[in-house]
Structure 1
Amino acid sequence: MVGLLAAVFRLFGVQRANDVFIDEVTYADIARQIADGHMPSILGTPFFLHPPGSYALNAVVIRVLGLGGHSMDLALQLRWVNSVLGVMTAVVCFLLVRRLAGVGPAALAGVMLASDPFVLRMDGRLMMETPAGLAVLLGWLLMLLALHRPAGRSRLWLEISAGLVFGVAIVMKDMTAVFTVVPLLAAVAWRRTVPLHTALRVLACSLVPYLLYLCLIAASGLFGEFMDQKSVGVLRMVGAVQMTGFNSVHSVSLTDRLIDLSSRFGTSYLLLGLSMVAGVVAAMSPLAGRRLVGLFSVFTGFVGVYSVFFGAAEEQFGYCVVLAGLVSTPVAAVMVLKWRPRLRG
């Protein structure tokens, strides 16, 4: 039912979506290049600022469905891919929260994700965040399944699967390493939430997709160009170089923009703000699964806060923060109600 609701919203939303964002046209053109068997490039220069995972996925769709036309036409057609992935994300969110807090909180989280206006806008655009966000949540769901299994072959396969899915997320957008690998390593130290051997196996598998990508670049003789562009990308992420986002354009006030859009995205802003708070509460749980998701929410929320004040404050950075808030907030609410039953009303 959550998936059906998400599909209905996206079915109508993608046809009434916002104007084409400039990055969508660029990403559609890169996907076409990969579909034609070429390395990603912009104006004849190899493009390594972002990894090619999401572009490769769209390239497969282009080849299978025989899509074509102008880059803008192609972007509008490929928006449907993200809409389908957004439906899958809502279902994975429901399954994840159900394991942590029960069916009721999971249904609430799933409905909120299915209908959240900010998420709907992102799922209705050809952006990297939707496929990357799905991979992040799916990886954490597999991690929870692994933690509840005794040592053995089935747990090992779940750990390998979780690592590979985390790796897919990273090869779609490398910033997701902060939403996957970093919380996983922190979980080893925080009250031994994840056993060290489990974390190492998952970490090793998460490196595989990106290492394959690096091998392809090295074989093409473009590793130096890759390092140059990636170093600029890291400097942009930490805010040392301000090229995009609200912090780079001082004539545009982020506060004024948030106020202008509060009537449309006010609930989304609430979820953004709750991500770190709910994550801290969940990280205090006696249950390992809740602590793990709490750490995921804490680090994801920290990236959002840091980007607003110091980094590249771009709108799309909030996508995974909303996902983390939707996963951790129901868990935190259940915990608070257990501690303070009088708050249930």
Structure 2
Amino acid sequence: MVWPVAATTGVDAAPADVVPGAPQRRQAAVTALLAIGLFAVALVARLLGISRTYELFLDEVTYAALTQSVSEGRGVLLHGELFFLHPPGWFVSTGLAFRGQLADERLDQVAMALRPVNAVLGSITVALTVLVLRRLTDRKAIPLLIGVALALDPFLVKFDSRFLLESQAMVLTTGAVLVLARAPRSSQGARRQGIAAGVLMAGAILTKEPYALITALPVAVMALVGAPPGRRVLVPAMVTTVAVYATYLGSLAARDELSLWWTAKTSGFSRLIGVSQETGFNAPGSPSLASRITELVEQFAGTYLLLAAGGVTLGVLVVRGWASARYWSRSTVLLGVRAAEPARVVAVAWAASSYTYVAYAVLLGTLEEQAFYMVVAPTALCLCVIATTRTSASRTSGPNPARAFAVLLTAMVVANGLSWVVLHQRTDDGYAQLRDFLDDEVPDGSRISVTEETAQFTLPDYDVGNWTSLAELRENQVQYVLVAEALVQRGYGSARPGFLADVERIGDPVFEREVPTLGRLVLLDVQGATR
């Protein structure tokens, strides 16, 4: 099948990797300097204040426990049981890299020690995105502005500054996009290109399986309709991805663990499609997405602007490609980009699959904050596609979209830079401050009631329980009660909102801090009322 071309679409400049001779070497040098420079900017933005700017998160200590288990040679275990909710890729790769170095450490300390790994991976993602951008255009300004915006993006920095799955999944996904974003030069080269992309896609899926929806799924659709870079690349990519994941399943079957995997995956799938709403913004009793957007608009203004602009530009490309289709199968017109430019096809396919996944999660599925992490980098590529694309009319008399997008990107850079400065002037490390106080003032083994899950992982040397009524406190002779007021108010804790007021009537605050994530974090001595 001949790939349909959107008749009204043109490109201002050829991709950098097709410029011959000495100019090609200069372009390559410029590209390398951009990527290295923006990697450095992104890394500094993520490493500065990494332990004090972002509060410890429950998922971090869970993943730290799994990584510690691998590091000690015990396998992927959580509380002594095999863990299959997520694939083992992140825990195995990090655990083996730090083999024998994480033993006997508290889980909060492990999570904090491993945060720089995510910072490095997130910074590599920024550099890889810049390399893809340079395959979309030989201009310098737009890749530079997009790269700086991503390097400072407060939403990306937040996730890349915590020990979470997303950083590894996204760096592998972006690597696959970079590999696919060029035309093969020979049949043998096409196979190698496809196999490399397939290994990277499989790595992303073995880190977090929903990433299959923005890697394997769009590549499968592109292979089906014959999209660039062509089936010679896309089919080997899909075969490799399936083969790697099948090898993983074979290893589970050989250890008689496939039934455990199936139970975990069916439960996870029901959550993914929204049949089971246990967590996230759509779960009963949880804060709504709208309320969180409103609450965080000052912090993430640049991110919101990027995602909104990306959604609009993606819609424009869809409509343009649909309207200009020459063949009956309009669905095979991949968003109005030219057949000669696989970088544009791959970039927009990535953006389309990412937005589709998030749109479903918003409307019907389990929607958690990390879903939006998937969209930021592909959105940036989508903006570059339309910023460097001009219709036949605009090439002669209309406005240049690149100038408008340069203004938009400059606004994003300014917003992200201001947000980064404001965020890094605050301290958001309530649990770390609590540990310092406990080490000095509260004897090991003291009985403490906690009202949310994260705190228990920071207190392994104390007798911790979830006692959240006055009767339970007295019955169990609790000595201290720890309450994170903001988490209780948002419904994330196990205590009812009035519990803190009840405890304050019978106890004395011995530790109190006001921090952004936890709100008022207070430890109360209740021994006088429970003994």
TM-score (norm 1): 0.93
CA distance in structure 2 between the aligned counterparts of 1:304 and 1:274, rounded to whole angstroms: 15
Is residue 272–residue 301 contact of structure 1 (8 Å, CA) maintained in 2?
Answer: no
Q: 1:173 to 1:251 in 2, by over 3 A?
A: closer
- Match of 1:255, as an amino acid? A
Q: Where does residue 166 of structure 1 map in the other structure?
A: 201
1:332 aligns with 386
- d(CA) in 2 for partners of 1:323 and 1:212? 30
1:48 matches 2:101: no
SS at match of 1:69: coil
Q: Which residue among 187, 191, 204 is the counterpart of 1:156?
A: 191
Contact 2:223 2:235 in 1 (8 A): no
Q: Pick closer, same or farther for the CA change 1:338–1:91 going to 2, 3 Å.
A: farther
Aligned to 1:248: 283
Higher Rg: 2
Question: Retained in 1: the 8 A contact 2:142–2:384?
Answer: yes
Deviation string, structure 1 residues 95-123 (Cα, Å, up to 9, x no partner): 01110123322212211111100000000
Distance 1:188 1:162 in 2: 13
Displacement of 1:173 after TM fit? Answer: 0.7
Q: By percentage of residues, which structure has more strand?
A: 2
Aligned residue for 1:304?
Answer: 358
Q: How does 1:28-43 map to 2 (within 5 A)?
A: 28-43=64-79
Q: Is the 2:71–2:101 Cα contact (8 Å) retained in structure 1?
A: no
Identical residues among aligned pairs (%): 28
When structure 1 is superposed on structure 2, of 334-343 and 79-88 the one drifting more is 334-343
Give the aligned CA root-mean-square deviation in angstroms: 2.0
Alignment partner, residue 246 of structure 2: 211
SS in 1 for 2:181: helix
Aligned counterpart, 1:107:
144
Cα 1:233–1:87, aligned 2, differ >3 Å: closer, same or farther? same
Instruction: Give the alignment partner of residue 91 of structure 1, picking from 110, 127, 144.
Output: 127
**CA shift in 2, pair 1:36/1:215, >3 Å:** farther
Counterpart CA distance in 1 for 2:373 and 2:209 is 15
1:130 to 153, 167, 177: 167
Provide TM-score, normalisation by structure 2: 0.61
Q: What CA deviation, in whole Å up to 9, does each residue of 1:34-73 have, x standing for no partner?
A: 1222232333332111101111122023217567510110
For 2:175, give the aligned amino acid.
Answer: L
Distance 2:57 2:216 in 1: 30
Of 305, 309, 315 in structure 2, the residue corresponding to residue 270 of structure 1 is 305
Q: What is the CA deviation profile of residues 19-42 of structure 1, one whole-angstrom value per residue up to 9, with x for unaligned ones?
A: 111010000000111122223233
> Cα–Cα, structure 1 residues 275 and 183, in superposed 2: closer, same or farther, change >3 Å?
farther
Match of 1:141 in 2: 178
* CA distance 1:35–1:338, change in 2 (3 Å): farther
Counterpart of 1:187 in structure 2 is 222
In structure 2, do the counterparts of structure 1 residues 18 and 339 end up closer, same or farther at CA, with 3 Å as the change threshold? farther
- Structure-to-structure mapping, 1:288-303, within 5 angstroms: 288-303=342-357
Change (3 A) 1:141 1:234: same
> Are positions 1:75 and 2:134 aligned together?
no
Q: Is the 8 A contact 2:184 2:233 kept in 1?
A: no
1:284 aligns with 2:336: yes
Aligned length: 343
Q: 1:294 to 1:44 in 2, by over 3 A?
A: same
Tell me if the contact between 2:190 and 2:233 (Cα under 8 Å) persists in the aligned partners.
Answer: no
Distance 1:251 1:178, change over 3 A: closer
Q: Secondary structure at the match of 2:285?
A: coil
Deviation for aligned residue 1:150: 1.9
- With 6-15 and 331-340 compared, the bigger mean Cα shift is at 331-340
Query: Which amino acid letter does the alignment assign opposite residue 399 of structure 2?
Result: R
Q: Distance in 2 between matches of 1:22 and 1:93?
A: 29
Aligned to 1:321: 375
- The 1-side partners of 2:202 and 2:113 are apart by 27
Q: Distance in 1 between matches of 2:46 and 2:259?
A: 41
Task: Identify if the C-alpha distance between structure 1 residues 91 and 292 changes in structure 2 by more than 3 Å, giving closer, same or farther.
Answer: same
CA shift, 1:276, in A, is 4.2
SS at match of 2:74: coil
Of residues 44, 51, 55 in structure 2, which corresponds to 1:15?
51
Deviation at 1:261, TM superposition (A): 0.1
Q: Return the offset for 1:191.
A: 6.4
Higher helix share: 1
CA contact (8 A) 2:71 2:95 kept: yes
Q: C-alpha offsets along residues 164-203 of structure 1, whole Å, 9 cap, x if unaligned?
A: 1111011011111111111112223556334234221110
- Check 1:238–1:273 CA distance in 2 against 1; reply closer, same or farther (3 A cut): farther
Change (3 A) 1:305 1:85: same
Letter in 1 for 2:336: M
CA distance in 2, matches of 1:302, 1:254: 17
Q: Cα distance 1:211–1:197, how it changes in 2: closer, same or farther (>3 A)?
A: same
Cα distance in 2, alignment partners of residues 143 and 98 from structure 1: 14
Give the deviation of 1:2 after TM superposition: 0.8
**Whole-Å Cα distance in 2 between the matches of residues 191 and 213 of structure 1?**
29
Structure 2 unmatched ranges of 5 or more: 1-36, 319-334, 405-531
- In structure 2, distance between residues paired with 1:185 and 1:191: 10
Distance in 1 between the 2:283 and 2:209 partners? 22
